[in-house]
Amino acid sequence: MSYLFTSESVSEGHPDKIADQISDALIDNFLAFDPESKVACETLVTTGQVILAGEVKSKTYLDVQQIARDVIKKIGYTKSEYMFEANSCGILSAIHEQSQDINQGVDKTNKEEQGAGDQGMMFGYATNETENYMPLALDLSHALLRELANLRRENAEITYLRPDAKSQVTLEYSDDNKPQRIDAIVISTQHDDFDEEAAMLAKIKSDLVSILIPRIKAKYPQYAHLFNDQITYHINPTGKFVIGGPHGDTGLTGRKIIVDTYGGKGAHGGGAFSGKDPSKVDRSAAYATRHIAKNLVAAGLADEVLVQVSYAIGVAKPTSINVVTYGTAKVGLTDGEISKKVESIFDMRPYFIEQRLKLRNPIYSETAAYGHMGRTPETVTKTFRTPNGEEKTVTVELFTWEKLDYVTEVKSAFGI
């Protein structure tokens, strides 16, 4: 019997994602001028207001208000009618120094013994159902909103789009867990006001089906065969969506952890990513387990892999590492035996994760919308400025945890 599976995504203009992007912009600026910065920064956005709070230990001083305004402007909140606008919104900073009680457990004289910034468990997942080893429903959900944002910025084929949007894709799977077709697509997009609501709804649905969907099929030809005439489209199903963004809903850092990871596939330990420097294993170990899972699947060890790691706060060595292959392993070993071999290949102590994935660099702003996983590794040059005129230009690698740089080592270890 076939079954349905659904994942959702949210746009960069969604209130929670605005908060994530501001928090990660702060992380990048701190790390650019002081790579040893310890930061846990939360953001709240609401009508005309941004509130920054958190703990920081850093040698640098930043204009956090200007950083937040730059992020809001880049997203597209630049009009007063949005009731949340980059130049006019109020920004309150309640950032203070990190607790010494926490810091003493993380910073060690021997850097290799750097302790985990918190307790908890983290998960990484990979599947071979897509080229980037991500769950297909989530990949499509992200693609819809990335392309919708492109249309908004082009302001040519569709001229009424505003920054806030959500998407959802439902796939039909066969008994052997292979995606067969798209069953339903849900898109809710914020828009300019129209004179007549019925005409507005008809126009938006027509444009998204006739303009957005063909662009997705052209840009992602590997998914074109999944589109069909029987797809159920729910476009702005509540009707009018003029009031949106932080004026429509309060946004908070860390409320889109499933959007950020695997869309409900695999598992999640509960810890958010944005606003946290890499000493926080909620972030760094989640990236490291994705790196492991992706390399295991790419090496042909299994069709689907879930990796779990757990830590005690202030302790370097993980309390557990576990690999689950869902019965798809190709190597004649139990999941427990696979776990032991994986533990010998990948050093999961926090310091070694940071070094292996180059996480002490300003690489986090790019992660804060459209998912932290499944992205394309690339090298970019970025420039940062402090209020006192200091400028720093750095060249960094983005999404290092997506690199397939351990495939050969995995194949050798498992005799593949």
Q: Is 280 annotated as a binding residue?
A: yes
Q: Is 382 annotated as a binding residue?
A: no
pLDDT for res 97: 81
Which tens digit of pLDDT belongs to each residue from 261-270? 999 999 999 9
**Do β-strands 38-46 and 49-57 pair in parallel, antiparallel, or remain unpaired?**
antiparallel
Q: Is 203 annotated as a binding residue?
A: no
pLDDT for res 103: 54
Q: Is 165 annotated as a binding residue?
A: yes
Q: Is 272 annotated as a binding residue?
A: yes
Q: 374 has which bridge partners?
A: none
Which tens digit of pLDDT belongs to each residue from 232-254? 999 999 999 999 999 999 999 99
pLDDT for res 98: 67
**Do β-strands 49-57 and 90-97 pair in parallel, antiparallel, or remain unpaired?**
parallel
Neighbours of 232 (CB within 10 A): 10
Q: Is 96 annotated as a binding residue?
A: no
In the sheet that holds 38-46, the strands lie side by side as 90-97, 49-57, 38-46, 251-252
Residue 105 pLDDT > 70: no
Q: Is 164 annotated as a binding residue?
A: yes
pLDDT for res 67: 97
Q: How buried is 31 (Cβ within 10 angstroms: 0-12 exposed, 13-18 middle, 19+ buried)? A: buried
Q: How confident is the model at residue 3 (pLDDT cuts 50, 70, 90)?
A: very high
pLDDT for res 117: 80
Q: Is 14 annotated as a binding residue?
A: yes
Residue 102 pLDDT > 70: no
Q: Is 340 annotated as a binding residue?
A: no
**Who has greater pLDDT, 223 or 102?**
223
Question: What's the rounded Cα separation, in Å, for the pair 40 and 287?
Answer: 17
Question: What's the rounded Cα separation, in Å, for the pair 130 and 344?
Answer: 28
Structural domains in the chain, sorted by start:
3-10+136-243 (3.30.300.10), 15-103 (3.30.300.10), 120-128+260-414 (3.30.300.10)
Give 256's DSSP letter: -
Is residue 180 within 8 A of residue 163, CB to CB? The reply is no
Residue 112 pLDDT > 80: no
Which tens digit of pLDDT belongs to each residue from 358-401? 999 999 999 999 999 999 999 999 999 999 889 999 999 999 99
What pTM value is reported for the model?
A: 0.96
Q: How buried is 379 (Cβ within 10 angstroms: 0-12 exposed, 13-18 middle, 19+ buried)? A: exposed
Residue 118 pLDDT > 90: no
Q: Is 183 annotated as a binding residue?
A: no
Which residues are CB-neighbours of 221 under 8 A, at least 6 positions away? none
Torsional sign, CA 322, 325, 330, 332 = positive
